[in-house]
């Protein structure tokens, strides 16, 4: 991490993020849910902490954290509601990382400094009604028209669409190519005529995160909106962002598991039944211990992947898929145990955070590649040797 005026060392920054997570973000979780969005003062706090810029290099105004540092930070701020993270996740991962690796220098200079400060929210527009896990089936298309392109198509489940200043949009530029070939990435400013954002549908969890349909209707963009000025590289750019995002999701699961373990352990130590704390019962101890052991394993896997990422070698695709698979399944098991340990209290929305956390973490097994997709990717890579 680069030195900032406030923090000369990464350890000091990590401690400050921990402090904000514990003393500002956690106590404001109910306010976040009631407001159905991260309140403005808390968004400002996230920006002031530099959290929108942790993955952006110093030359573009970011904090230039290594992946190991990003993962350590995620373990901390994701002990508060993961909806806070959702507000900047699409900027730090899916969009900025694809821009970093694939965009032209002009595109980098246009977007990255604004992303680093949080002035520009990036949103990632890949998924469509008929192209979910099979992203290569997308039908949104961009046609050359004079000096630019005209984009038409329908995207769905796009996180932060209402807040987005720019959509990293995958569209087919070669109508004759099938699958991943012929797909290009465009930087589409959110305020352009021809970009329409739907109302966010209600979700099982993650209240306050806005995930919407986005329609591109004869949306005209200039030639320089094509990422890297290169046609046909869209899914490669998407995958770069997705690999980064998957590791961040795995680290998010670890942070949420730490929180759930803290909630259930405090309850098990204090709640007395049959004349003793319930934490004295062997079956309750098993739920605590299994949760702790599985969280530690996921944490170690995340750290391993992060170090491999930082080593500069090829991105460890199988390891990142494994981390995403294991951590997302792990946190669902931990959430289920936390509810069980807490009995009726764990089921009460208004009396403990465990019900809300359980609903929130269910998402992680579905998005950024469902568990079954990770399994199939891992197994196929193993079989290929
Ligand atoms: C809250 C939320 C936020 C999201 N944010 C974004 C975003 O910002 N940008 C964006 O582009 N997308 C986003 N998505 C989309 C997300 O990545 C997709 O939901 C995900 O890829 C799965 O696609 P699908 O929902 O269409 O499910 P489908 O592809 O229809 O899959 C349904 C199920 O089929 C099974 N399945 C599918 N394929 C396989 C396979 N190959 N092998 C074995 N089983 C398989 C799995 O069990 C899977 O869960 C978001 C989704 C949600 C729910």
Angstrom distances, CA of residue 18 to CA of 12, 24, 102, 383:
10, 10, 33, 42
Residues 245 and 312 in one domain: yes
CA of 126 to the centre of ligand 1 (A): 11
Residue 268, classified by CB atoms within 10 Å of its CB into exposed (0-12), middle (13-18) or buried (19+), is buried
Q: Are 364 and 298 in contact (CB under 8 A)?
A: no
Residue having the nearest C-alpha atom to atom 43 of ligand 1:
372
pLDDT at 3 (0 to 100): 57
Closest approach atom of ligand 1 to CA 211 = 3
- 166 and 215: one domain? yes
* CA dihedral over 371, 374, 378, 383, signed as positive or negative: positive
Choosing from 68, 69, 128, 368, the catalytic residue is 368
- Tell me: do 56 and 91 sit in the same domain: yes
State how many domains the chain has.
3
Residues 251 and 341 in one domain: yes
Burial zone of 116 (CB within 10 Å; 0-12 exposed, 13-18 middle, 19+ buried):
buried
User: Domain span at residue 291?
Assistant: 236-384
Per-residue pLDDT at 305: 95
116 lies in the same domain as 178 = no
pLDDT at res. 385:
80
Q: What is the CATH number of the domain that holds 144?
A: 2.40.110.10
In a domain, 2, yes or no: no
Quote the DSSP letter at residue 143.
E
| 5 falls within a domain | no
In terms of domains, do 65 and 131 share one? no
pLDDT of the residue at 150:
98
Let me know if 217 is a catalytic residue: no
Tell me if residue 190 falls in helix, strand or coil.
coil
Atom of ligand 1 nearest to the CA of 368: 17
CA of 321 to the centre of ligand 1 (A): 15
Q: What is the pLDDT of residue 236?
A: 81
Q: Which of 90, 120, 150 is the last residue of a domain?
A: 120
- Give residue-wise pLDDT tens across range 166-204: 999 999 999 888 878 899 999 999 999 999 999 999 999
Q: What is the residue-level pLDDT of the chain in tens, covering all 385 positions? A: 665 657 889 999 999 999 999 999 999 999 999 999 999 999 999 999 999 999 999 999 999 999 999 999 999 999 999 999 999 999 998 899 999 999 999 999 999 999 999 999 999 999 999 999 999 999 999 999 998 999 999 999 999 999 999 999 999 999 888 878 899 999 999 999 999 999 999 999 999 999 999 999 999 999 999 999 999 888 887 887 788 899 999 999 999 999 999 999 999 999 999 999 999 999 999 999 999 999 999 999 999 999 999 998 777 789 999 999 999 999 999 999 999 999 999 999 999 999 999 999 999 999 999 999 999 999 999 999 8
Query: Is 277 in the same domain as 203?
Result: no
Choose among 330, 340, 328: nearest CA to 368.
328
Q: Which pTM was predicted?
A: 0.96
Tokens 């004869």 -> residue: 218
Give the separation between CA 179 and CA 30, rounded to whole angstroms: 44
Is 198 among the domain residues? yes
Q: How crowded is residue 85: how many other Cβ atoms within 10 Å of its Cβ?
A: 24
Q: Which of 209, 232, 255 is the last residue of a domain?
A: 232
111 within ligand 1 shell (Cβ under 6 A): no
Question: Domain containing 364 — which CATH number?
Answer: 1.20.140.10
Same domain, 41 and 73: yes
Compute the distance from residue 132 Cα to the ligand 1 centre, in Å: 5
Token readout for 338 is 């936390």
Residue carrying structure tokens 């089921």 = 347
Please state whether 89 falls in left (phi above 0), alpha (psi between -120 and 50) or beta: alpha
User: CA 349, 352, 355: angle at the middle one, nearest 5?
Assistant: 50
Which stretches of 139-280 are DSSP H helices? 234-270
pLDDT confidence of residue 6? 76
- Residue 328 inside a domain? The answer is yes
Residue-level pLDDT at 70 = 97
Q: Are 99 and 187 in contact (CB under 8 A)?
A: yes
Q: Point out the domain boundary residue: 92, 120, 148.
A: 120
Strands 122-125 and 166-172, by their bridges, are parallel
Do 70 and 130 belong to one domain?
no
Are 60 and 168 in a shared domain?
no
**Residue at 110 is within a domain:** yes
> Is 3 inside a domain boundary?
no
Q: Is 378 in the pocket of ligand 1 (CB under 6 A)?
A: no
What does 223-257 look like in DSSP terms, one character per residue?
A: GGGBGGG-TT-HHHHHHHHHHHHHHHHHHHHHHHH
On whether residue 199 sits in a domain, the answer given is yes
CB 298 within 8 A of CB 324: no
Domain match, 176 and 102 both: no
pLDDT for 372 equals 98
Domain of residue 30, CATH code: 1.10.540.10
Whether 1 is in a domain gets the answer no
Distance CA 175, CA 62 (A): 38
Report which ligand 1 atom has the smallest distance to the Cα of 170: 11
**Same-domain check for residues 55 and 113:** yes
265 vs 282, 294, 323, CA distance in Å?
Answer: 14, 15, 25
Residue 132 beta carbon below 6 angstroms from any ligand 1 atom: yes
Structure tokens, 92: 């730090």
């Amino acid at each position: 991490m680069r030195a900032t005026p406030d923090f000369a060392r990464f350890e000091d920054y990590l401690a400050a993020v921990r402090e904000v997570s514990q003393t500002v973000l956690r106590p404001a979780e109910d306010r976040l849910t009631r407001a159905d969005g991260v309140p403005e003062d808390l968004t400002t706090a996230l920006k002031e902490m530099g959290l929108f810029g942790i993955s952006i290099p110093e030359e573009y105004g970011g904090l230039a954290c290594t992946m190991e540092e990003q993962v350590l930070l995620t373990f901390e701020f994701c002990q508060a509601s993961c909806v806070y993270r959702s507000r900047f996740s699409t900027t730090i991962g899916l969009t900025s990382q694809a821009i970093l690796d694939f965009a032209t220098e002009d595109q980098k200079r246009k977007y990255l400094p604004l992303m680093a400060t949080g002035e520009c929210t990036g949103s990632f527009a890949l998924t469509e009604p008929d192209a979910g896990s099979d992203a290569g089936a997308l039908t949104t298309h961009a046609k050359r028209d004079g000096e630019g392109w005209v984009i038409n198509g329908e995207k769905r489940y796009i996180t932060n669409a209402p807040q987005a200043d720019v959509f990293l949009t995958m569209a087919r530029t070669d109508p004759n190519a099938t699958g991943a070939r012929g797909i290009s990435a465009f930087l589409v400013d959110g305020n352009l005529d021809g970009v329409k954002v739907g109302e966010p549908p209600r979700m099982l969890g993650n209240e306050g995160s806005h995930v919407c349909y986005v329609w591109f209707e004869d949306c005209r963009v200039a030639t320089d909106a094509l990422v890297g000025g290169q046609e046909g590289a869209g899914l490669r750019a998407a995958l770069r962002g997705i690999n980064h995002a998957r590791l961040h999701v795995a680290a998010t699961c670890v942070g949420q598991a730490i929180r759930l373990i803290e909630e259930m352990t405090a309850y098990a130590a204090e709640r007395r039944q049959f004349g003793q704390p319930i934490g004295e019962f062997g079956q309750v101890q098993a739920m605590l211990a299994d949760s702790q052991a599985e969280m530690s394993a996921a944490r170690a896997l995340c750290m391993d992947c992060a170090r491999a990422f930082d080593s500069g070698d090829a991105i460890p695709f199988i390891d990142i898929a494994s981390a995403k698979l294991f951590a997302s399944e792990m946190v669902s098991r931990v959430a289920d145990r936390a509810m069980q340990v807490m009995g009726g209290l764990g089921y009460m929305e208004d009396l403990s955070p465990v019900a809300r956390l359980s609903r929130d973490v269910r998402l992680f097994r579905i998005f950024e590649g469902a568990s079954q997709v990770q399994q199939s990717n891992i197994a196929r890579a193993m079989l290929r040797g």
